[in-house]
Amino acid sequence: MYQEENLLKRKNKPILAWLVFFISLLFILGCYVSLRFGAVNYIHTQVWQVIQNPLQDSAIQDVIFDLRFPRFLAAILVGAASAQAGAIMQGITRNPIADPGLLGINAGAGLALIIGYAIWGSLHYSLILLLCLLGSLLAAILVIGLSYQPQKGYHAIRLILAGAMVSTFFSAIGQTLTLYFNLETRVIGWQAGGLAQINWPMLATIAPFIIIGLLLAQLLAHQLTIISLNETVAKSLGQRTNLISFALLAIVLLLSAGAVALVGTIAFIGLIIPHFIRVFVVKDYRYLLPLTAFTGATFMVWVDIVSRILNPPAETPISAIISLVGLPCFLWLIRRGDDL
Domain 2-8+72-336 sits in CATH 3.30.300.30: no
Question: What 3-state class would DSSP assign to 149?
Answer: strand
What's at 94, amino acid-wise?
R
* Per-residue pLDDT at 60 exceeds 70: yes
Select the more confidently predicted residue: 124 or 55: 124
Q: How do the domains of the chain map onto residue ranges? A: 2-8+72-336
CA 117 to mean position of chain CA atoms: 23
* Per-residue pLDDT at 235 exceeds 70: no
User: What band does 2 get if pLDDT is binned at 50, 70 and 90?
Assistant: very low
The predicted structure's pLDDT at residue 336: 63
Select the more confidently predicted residue: 338 or 274: 274
CA 28 to mean position of chain CA atoms: 20
281 close to 12: Cβ distance less than 8 angstroms: yes
Q: What angle do CA 150, 232, 159 make, to 5 degrees?
A: 40
Count Cβ atoms below 10 Å from residue 181 Cβ, excluding itself: 16
Average pLDDT, the chain: 83
Q: Cα separation of 279 and 159, whole Å?
A: 24
Q: Cα separation of 142 and 243, whole Å?
A: 19
Q: Cα separation of 235 and 242, whole Å?
A: 10
What's at 81, amino acid-wise?
A
The predicted structure's pLDDT at residue 8: 44
Q: Cα separation of 35 and 207, whole Å?
A: 20
What's at 102, amino acid-wise?
L
Q: Cα separation of 132 and 233, whole Å?
A: 35
